[in-house]
Amino acid sequence: MDADSMMAEVFDDGHYASTLGQKIKRSFQLGPKYYSFDIPRYLLGRRALKLPVFDWDALWSPLREFGQKRVNELPLPNGYPEVLGRLRDAGVRLTIPRHRLEGLLTIWWSTREVRGDVIECGSYRGATALLLALLGKINQIDQATLMLDTFAGMPQTSKYDVSRQPGEFLPPEGQVAVIRRQAESLGVADRTEIHQGLFHDSFRNLAGRRRSFAFVHIDANIYEGTLEACQFTIPRIVEGGAVVFDDYNGPCDLGARLAIEQFCAGQKIKLMPLAGSSVWARV
């Protein structure tokens, strides 16, 4: 099988706009609401949280949806194509768009000498975390990969999450058992931890265990979970480690953007563009 057919099998692009036509249609659906309702609400949110009110950069978010490339030149991890093939054989389907996934992988790979675990806050069906765990294994990186999610859909949203609903990202029933089986068949069960429930409950359980992280992926899409994830994980990142925020520039994710801005205010965290809606920072 050629590389393109294999990619088509392992990336499940059924739930987001992947073709140019779908993106144009989506921008016509989202654009008017984004500029006339979501942005004014977001700016009010900034004022309520005592952030500088204007944010020019947020005006570009719908256009970033058209970008199909990551913006860095960092290398992809050794063994990436082989690992995609193994994921496909194990029945794992990646639901994150390919350019965002590959952007994330370059940042994870850049932290490979840093001693610490990987934590993903917002794992949905677990595919991205399983990929990181398997890449870590074949490259002999000594780290666990933690997956945190309700695995039962998006929890209650806040007044800042104007385009997100509770219950979104509802995985098929029994998803945790499926992820466990996939981890077994990929040989990474001993390198993965599944923490099912609300983040703040999982963080309470993890807090006593002296965890430190080389790589953090924050992908919660909504205000509260994103803020909690920043507060727990970023202070635990080892020097030289990194964080990727999947949805900072997501046009439906202004609540998450607000949380990231709130957390970063007054801190020396420089957000850099990565791919489409995602940004990253070295800590």
Torsion of CA 262, 266, 268, 270, to 10 degrees: 50
Q: In the complex with ligand SAM, which residue's Cβ is closer, 43 or 144? A: 144
CA separation for the pair 101, 118 (Å, rounded): 15
Least Å from the CB of residue 202 to ligand SAM: 7
Q: In the complex with ligand SAM, which residue's Cβ is closer, 17 or 154? A: 154
Least Å from the CB of residue 154 to ligand SAM: 5
Least Å from the CB of residue 214 to ligand SAM: 18
Instruction: Indicate the residue type of 147.
Output: M
C-beta nearest to ligand SAM: residue: 225
Q: In the complex with ligand SAM, which residue's Cβ is closer, 111 or 150? A: 150
Question: Rounded to a whole number, what is the distance in angstroms from the first to the last CA of the chain?
Answer: 40
Tell me the residue length of the chain: 283
**H or E element, residue 218:** strand 213-218
Least Å from the CB of residue 244 to ligand SAM: 10
Helix axes 127-138 and 98-110, enclosed angle (nearest 10): 40
Least Å from the CB of residue 151 to ligand SAM: 7
Torsion of CA 239, 245, 249, 251, to 10 degrees: -160
Q: In the complex with ligand SAM, which residue's Cβ is closer, 237 or 252? A: 252
Instruction: Indicate the residue type of 146.
Output: L
CA distances from 238 to 111, 115, 120, 242, 243 (A): 10, 7, 16, 8, 11
Q: In the complex with ligand SAM, which residue's Cβ is closer, 124 or 263? A: 124
Least Å from the CB of residue 268 to ligand SAM: 26
Q: In the complex with ligand SAM, which residue's Cβ is closer, 114 or 227? A: 227
Least Å from the CB of residue 204 to ligand SAM: 12
Q: In the complex with ligand SAM, which residue's Cβ is closer, 79 or 155? A: 155
CA separation for the pair 142, 230 (Å, rounded): 24
In the complex, the residues that contact ligand SAM under the rule CB under 6 A are: 95-96, 120, 122-124, 127-128, 149-150, 153-155, 169, 198-199, 219-222, 224-225
- For the purposes of burial, counting CB atoms within 10 Å of the CB of 90, is it exposed (0-12), middle (13-18) or buried (19 or more)? middle
